[in-house]
Every structure is written in C-alpha cells, then in structure tokens.
Chain A
C-alpha cells in the first residue's frame, strides 16, 4: 500500500521551504505553453497565434477594413458586382456588390461578439446547473441529466434553427441576429457545461477533503462555494475554447441557411458563403474562398488551443521530454511520480469533454 502514494516523506519534505511564487507563468494557457514540448508546443503556439490574430482583427476592424461592411459605392461610384480582385478591391467584390476584404474583416467582429455572448450565457447557466445537479443529486440531478443528454445528442444545427425562428421572428438587426445566434449556441452548450461541471463535482464530492468538510459540520453553501466550486472549474478553459470554435461553425451554419444577419446589419461569413453558392458554378472563386478561409483559420486556431490544452491536462496524452544522456545527481523527488506508475482506472473515456463513455452514465 505504501508504494501507491506518490509523495514519500523523504521527498518533498526536504525540498526548499520557500513557497513558489504565483506569477504570470501560472496563468492558465501560459503555464501550459511552458509545460509543453515539441510538436505539442508547436500546435498550441500555432493555435494561440491564429486566435490572437483573429481577436486583434476583430478589435481593430474599423482601422483595418478599407470600406464599411455595407458600403456599396465610394466617391468614384458603385463598386460593381462580382469584380475580380484588383488594386481597389484586393479580394474582389461580392454578387451583392460589397467589398470582400472588408466583409471578411468586419465578419470577425460579428463572430467575436457571438462567441463572447454565447460563452458567457452558457458558462453562467451551465456551471450553475452543473454545480447544483452534481452536488445535490436526487431527482433534480436525474431530470437535468436526462434533459441534457437529450439535447446533447440532438443535432445542434436543427436546434439552432428552431431557436433562430423563435428569437429572430422575422427581423434580423445586428443585435437581434447576434442574440439569436448566441442564444441558439447557448442552448446547445449549456448541456455540455452542465455535464462537465457535474462530472467534476461528483468526482470532487467523493474526495476526502469534501467529506472532511462535511464531518466538520460545514453547511452546504460553504462546502459548495469554498471546497467544490473552484476545484471543479479546472477543465473549463479547455471546453471554452472548443465551444468557441463550435460557436463559429454554428453561426456560419445558421447564416448559410438564411438565419444569419442581413448584410446591412453586419458582416457575417456564413451569409456571404450562401450568397456565393451560385457564383461557384460560374467559376467565381473569390467570393467564397475568402470568407470560408476566415472561418477555417479561426476554428482551427481555437481547436488547436483547445486540443492542446486537453492533451496537456491528460497525463496519458501528454508527451514528455525524452531522457537526455547525462543524468544529474540523485534528486530527492520520488520517481514514483513517473508516468508509468499512475494506474488509470478504466480504459474508457476520451476525456471529460467527450460524450459519455460509460454505457450507464445516461441513466443516472
């Protein structure tokens, strides 16, 4: 039994007594960059660069874009429809006569708005429900889990359409459009946050330190806020990035199906792609390629970040430095912390984010 534990008395006890300072290196994401090695680091950094580029573009869109998103003419007259890329219009113009480059740049703004709104809504609701569901259990938990499972398994796009109908009604102003998209995405994501947070809460609830708080006589509120809540949000940055990328895909999907935002209200990549559908047959490529590429790059960036965080969080997936030839002196840290000693309970499970891997999970 003694060997099952990774921290022997002799080890950390004799380590230097000073507490590690908690500096900027400990910020989420930055800490992971430090941890990562080789290809994994490359993927994470590439993702961060793409994501950073996207956010900066969105923030500085008014400065970067040559024209407004709904501008059809300048001092010299109308732009003209389906113009090939030229010095005036670097990426050409659309079938509606807008400047493609400007639409692509302004589109990043819309995308960012939607991501932020959707993530905030679903985070608040999902975390709260997950906390309650996991902590109290009982019938509330069962009902929430069944509902979450049902929605989770349902095609996200169809649900988004239904909600789009509800929210949008008929008008599609910038605010209404963004709200519709954000709400649709929220409904899809709340079950995911609920699941992840609930799973974490259930795990933490059985940890000795929570039981210890119960034995002490701490009330539910104190246990939840002081012991459970902060420990259960460990995986959130990770699903946050993955969900942000899904949010963009859903927004674009809605736009493509005609539930997007009118071109006069804001620029939206999915809408532009829908408009370019007929161009493709006649060989006009610039109207579709650029907004499409914008989506791909942003989603790739976010996904790379999310997946890298996921890998780093999972000891089985994390790659480690290879051994070098010259060992230093005998260190006092336990080698039992080495990668092979930690037994993983079941072969199941990709990670906390994936859908249930335990066939009975859904029934509880």
Chain B
C-alpha cells in the first residue's frame, strides 16, 4: 500500500534510511519518537471532529427538551423549561459551554432519570468492557488460526469452506445470530440461560460485594463462590459467541488475505529456495510481516465491535452501555445518547492510537 515512487534507475546504494527524492517512506528518519508524538497529537483533532459532528447533528433537530417532550407539554411550559436549561441561548455559546464541560469530564445530565452521564458511563461501562473482552478472545481464538489455515490451504476446499464461514459470520446481523443462538441453545436445548448477565441470586451476591469492579467474572471470583462463577460464565457464553464470531469473520479474512500476500513475496520465495519447509515459511517467514497490517486493521475493528455490542446487549438484555443507549433512545433522552456516543469517540480514538503504537513497535523499519 505504500506508494513509493523511487527513481527507476536502480537502487540507491545508500541505506534506505537516507532519503531519496520523491520517495515517501514509512516511519524512519525522524525516528520513532516523533512519529509517536505526531500520532498522539492526532488523537485530539479526531475526538474534536467527532464531538463537533455529533453536537451539530443533534442540535440540527432542535434542543433536547423539545425533542423529548414536544407535543406532550403545553407550549408555554415547554418554553419555560427550555429557557431554564439554557437551550435558548446562541448555539455557539452552548457549544463552547459543552466543550469546556467536556474537557473537565462533564458529559451532562440525563433527562429521563436525572443522573450525571459520567455516572451512567461508569456504571454500565464495565459490563460492555467485559463483553468486548470476551468477544475479542473468541475472535482471536477463532479468526487468527483459521485465517492462517485458510491461507495455507489456499484454493482448496477447506479454504473455500472457511471463507464461506467467514462471510457467513459477518453477513449475519449480530442480533439475528443472537436470536438463533438463543432459540437453539437456550430455548430448545435449554443448555444456557436466555438473557442477562447472571441470575438474580448471583447478582444480589455480586452487588453486595465490598469492592465491586462491575466486571462480573472478577467479582464472581472475589466472592469465592464457585456457583456464582459458573453462573456468570454460563450467561457470558452466548453473547460472547455472538459478538465474537462477527469479529472472527473479519479477522479470518484479514489474516488470510495478508498471509497470502506475504506468502507471495520475494523473501518467502528466497527462503523456499534455501530449503526452508513450507510449514516454517508460513509460521515464521510469512506470518510476521503480515502481522503489521493485521494489527493496524484489527485496531479499526474496535468500531465494529462497539456497534455490535449495542445490538448484542439489546438481544441478550446484557445491561451495558449499548443496552442503556437503546433505553435512552426510546425515552428520547438525547443528552444521554450524546454522552454515550461521545464516550465511544474517545475510546475509539485512544484505542486506535494504542494499536498504531503497537504496529510501529513490531515493525523494525519504524523502530530503527
């Protein structure tokens, strides 16, 4: 993907680190440090753009109070409430106020249940985090080995089967996959619970815990009660599979494509010409270089994962941010919606930064 335009007259007999005319380089030169710095600084415009976009879009429709209560209150009372909340002032003033509050960590207050949005985020964020972690584990365990296998058996029937499996994984809407899983494993076979994060009994036990992290698995271990642990795990299986398989399909395709790409590179051919076995070619020579683009793209899948989490949580009544978001949507509480969306923006920007750092660190061309 690097569009290097070198002079075609032959190679420069200087280390590649030295700049050549009309040559765009990956990293290098200015060193890892300045690359990371620039990449870090880029987080802020990214967040700023998203926050602004969301703010502008939400306000295009009018103020949140009219949006929530319009038609249900007499016009005069509505106007009174709008003025009280300060939504009648110039939009730029409101925008500035919103931004300054945001910088201080104030995401606003929900209208439907009058809680600070930050409190909502911390209460329900843990559940979403837990689900996302499970899903990522499933995605890695399924997607990466199968992707390598597909690349290795390229164009033979197992490869075709794996590709169709991958396409099926991301062609199936998460909520439909969830419904089918529920129907089969929970309703018909009765192996696993239908919904929720734990049974009511376990939940009470978990909530009375002194140092509750909100991540049920950790909390369950803290109770020391094996039954609670198994209960929590049983509840996690279907949501984790649902969300994990979606991402696994993407990973599978990604790994397959990139490994096939590097398997065709000159250096793999060169290693083959010295008698390195096909297995080792795949495991060492082709896989490592393929990993760099894989890591970068995996980072961007966090967006897919978050979007999928909203749907998965709704399907399984998994009381996380996504589930809560839908509740607020139904209550037309747009302040809360905005808060959750902005939080997602921050998370995405930060995770993409971390992933780019990892990608840079595993690429010796950037490291040195």
**Interfacial residues, chain A to chain B (CB-CB below 8 A):** 1, 38-40, 42-43, 146-147, 149-158, 161-163, 165-166, 169-170, 199, 202-203, 206, 245, 249, 252-253, 256-259, 270, 273-274, 276-277, 280-283, 285, 288-289, 292, 295-296, 299-300, 303-304, 307, 316-317, 319, 339-340, 343-351, 354-363
Given contacts A157-B311, A358-B26, contact A149 B46 (CB under 8 A): yes
Bound CA span A149–B330, Å: 30
Whether B170 sits at the interface, judged by CB under 8 Å, is: yes
List 17 A-B residue pairs with CB atoms under 8 Å apart, sorted by A's residue number: A146-B45, A147-B49, A150-B45, A152-B300, A166-B57, A253-B173, A257-B311, A257-B326, A274-B175, A282-B187, A283-B187, A288-B176, A307-B253, A345-B4, A348-B2, A354-B297, A361-B1
Contacts of B123 on A, CB cut-off 8 Å?
Answer: none
Given contacts A153-B300, A288-B179, contact A350 B173 (CB under 8 A): no
> Which of B85-93, B199-207, B258-266 is the interface stretch?
B258-266
Bound CA span A202–B2, Å: 11
- Tell me how many residue pairs across A and B have CB atoms closer than 8 Å: 247
Given contacts A38-B155, A155-B307, A206-B3, contact A355 B296 (CB under 8 A): yes
Contacts of A152 on B, CB cut-off 8 Å?
Answer: 300
B329 pairs with A158, CB closer than 8 A: no
Given contacts A165-B337, A258-B330, contact A150 B49 (CB under 8 A): yes
Contacts of A359 on B, CB cut-off 8 Å?
Answer: 26-27, 35, 39, 296, 356, 359-360, 363, 366
A300 pairs with B171, CB closer than 8 A: yes
Residue from the list A283, A299, A316 in contact with B264, Cβ < 8 A: A316
A163 pairs with B57, CB closer than 8 A: yes
Contacts of A154 on B, CB cut-off 8 Å?
Answer: 50, 303, 344-345, 348
Given contacts A206-B3, A289-B180, contact A39 B307 (CB under 8 A): no
Interfacial residues of chain B within 159-207, with CB under 8 A of chain A in the complex: 159-160, 163-164, 167-168, 170-173, 175-176, 179-180, 182-183, 187-188, 194-195
CB distance from B243 to the nearest CB of A (A): 13
Contacts of B359 on A, CB cut-off 8 Å?
Answer: 359
**CB closest residue in chain A, given B194:** A281
B176 pairs with A273, CB closer than 8 A: yes
Top 5 A-B pairs, shortest CB-CB distance: A349-B1, A157-B307, A292-B176, A357-B293, A155-B307
B171 pairs with A363, CB closer than 8 A: no
Residue from the list A153, A206, A304, A356 in contact with B46, Cβ < 8 A: A153
CB distance from B289 to the nearest CB of A (A): 4
**CB closest residue in chain B, given A356:** B296
B311 pairs with A153, CB closer than 8 A: no
Bound CA span A58–B292, Å: 43
CB distance from B136 to the nearest CB of A (A): 15
Given contacts A258-B330, A319-B155, contact A303 B170 (CB under 8 A): yes
**CB closest residue in chain B, given A246:** B170
B1 pairs with A357, CB closer than 8 A: yes
Whether B118 sits at the interface, judged by CB under 8 Å, is: no
Given contacts A38-B155, A157-B310, A166-B60, contact A350 B293 (CB under 8 A): yes
A203 pairs with B292, CB closer than 8 A: no
Residue from the list B53, B188, B195, B293 in contact with A349, Cβ < 8 A: B293
A277 pairs with B315, CB closer than 8 A: yes
Contacts of A273 on B, CB cut-off 8 Å?
Answer: 173, 175-176, 179
Contacts of B360 on A, CB cut-off 8 Å?
Answer: 359
Residue from the list B42, B49, B163, B366 in contact with A363, Cβ < 8 A: B42
Given contacts A155-B306, A273-B175, contact A304 B167 (CB under 8 A): yes
A347 pairs with B265, CB closer than 8 A: yes
Given contacts A273-B179, A344-B264, contact A1 B10 (CB under 8 A): yes
For B3, B42, B188, the residue with the greatest tally of chain A CB atoms inside 10 Å of its CB is: B3
Other contacts beyond A40-B155, A157-B308: 14, CB < 8 A: A149-B46, A151-B50, A202-B3, A257-B310, A257-B311, A292-B176, A316-B260, A316-B264, A340-B269, A348-B2, A350-B297, A358-B2, A359-B26, A360-B27
Given contacts A43-B160, A161-B329, A356-B296, contact A285 B303 (CB under 8 A): no
CB distance from B128 to the nearest CB of A (A): 12
Bound CA span A318–B164, Å: 17
Bound CA span A40–B155, Å: 8
Contacts of B45 on A, CB cut-off 8 Å?
Answer: 146, 150
B5 pairs with A206, CB closer than 8 A: yes
Residue from the list B1, B9, B183, B253 in contact with A346, Cβ < 8 A: B1
Residue from the list B173, B183, B307, B315 in contact with A156, Cβ < 8 A: B307
B345 pairs with A292, CB closer than 8 A: no
Contacts of B35 on A, CB cut-off 8 Å?
Answer: 359-360
Residue from the list A158, A339, A351 in contact with B344, Cβ < 8 A: A158
Contacts of A158 on B, CB cut-off 8 Å?
Answer: 306-307, 310, 340-341, 344
Contacts of B265 on A, CB cut-off 8 Å?
Answer: 344, 347
Residue from the list B171, B183, B352, B366 in contact with A280, Cβ < 8 A: B183
CB distance from A225 to the nearest CB of B (A): 23
